[in-house]
Structure formats: structure tokens, C-alpha cells
Amino acid sequence: MPEDVFRIVITVAVALACLVFVVQAGVVIALYGVIRAVKERVLPLVDQVSTITTRAVPVIDRVSPTLETAGRVLASTQKIIEDARPRVAEISTEAVAIARSGRQQVERVGALLADASEKARERLNQIDRSVDETVEQLENAGEAVKRAVTRPVREVNGLAAGISAAVSALVHGSRRPSVDHATQDEEMFI
């Protein structure tokens, strides 16, 4: 149970106890008012004993049920307080246990998330290395294919230039080639 719920439960229990105390205070104030009213009615009648008895008896009859009711209210209020104390203590104990359990679960989830994050980071690093190695191998393979293709082409060009020079020498004789012709032949071999 979160700490806020625990505080709410305690607050409700304290509010209930305060309500009981307010009810008791109201009963005491009512009793004080009744007694004061009785006193105000009885004091002027002290001189007249017979009148006091006649007038006091109905007032006492009216006060008696009020006092009995007040006594019952006080007794039930006391009983409610006594009944509520163990329950409040039990609720408090359970709230503390639930809060501890919740905290442990949150810590476990946090550890699990940290572990998953670390594993994901390691896996991403492994994938990154694999991609880098694959790109490097593709570059190497591309270079090898390029060399494998261009080498025979150069050889065929060289062979064709040699045949062309031989045919030209046979057709034109053994004249010395001009500078432009020699430069062109050299460019073909490059």
C-alpha cells in the first residue's frame, strides 16, 4: 500500500476519534446547559420549599431521561473508541506491510529493466559490429571482383594492341612510327 493510502487511513481514524471527542464535548455542554437551567430555576425557589418541590419534580423528571440518554451516548462512544483501536492498529500494520511489499516489487522491476537495458545495449553493439564486418567484406569482395574483371580486359587490350602493331608493321613496313603514333600506342598500354 502506498504511503499516501496509509496516511489517509490514519487520518480517517484520527478524524473518527476527533468526532467522538466532539460528541462527548457536546454532551457535556448540553449537560452543563441543563444543569445551569435547573440551577436558575431552583435558586429562586429556595425560599418557597413547597413551591420548589412542586416545580423541581417535573424538571428532575425531564432531566432524568436526558441524563440517562447522555450516559448511554457516553457508554456507546467509549465502546466505539475501544472497538476502533485494535482495528486501526491492524490496518496500520497491514498498510506498512503492503508498503514494504510494494517497494520490493518496484525495486525488482527496476533491476529487471536495468538488466534488459544492458542486454539490449550489448545486442545492439553486437549487431553494429556484424554490420561493420559485413560492409567491410562486401568492399573486399567488390575490390576482388573489380580486379578479376579488369585484369583480363587489360590483357586483351594489350594483346589487341600488340596484334595491331604487328599488322601495322607488316602492312606499312618497318618505318619508324611518328611521335603522335607512339604516344597513342603508349596510352593504350596504360
Residue pLDDT, tens place only, 146-173:
888 888 888 888 888 888 888 887 887 6
**Number of structural domains the chain divides into:** 2
Residue 46 parent element (H or E): none
Does residue 137 lie within any of the structural domains?
Answer: no
Whether residue 121 sits in one domain with residue 156 = no
Does residue 97 lie within any of the structural domains?
Answer: yes
Does residue 176 lie within any of the structural domains?
Answer: yes
Whether residue 152 sits in one domain with residue 91 = no
Does residue 138 lie within any of the structural domains?
Answer: no
Residue 109's domain spans which residues? Answer: 3-131
Is the pTM higher than 0.85? The answer reads no
Residue pLDDT, tens place only, 169-183:
788 765 555 555 556
Say which DSSP state 48 is in: -
Does residue 99 lie within any of the structural domains?
Answer: yes
Other Cβ atoms within 10 Å of 180 Cβ, number: 8
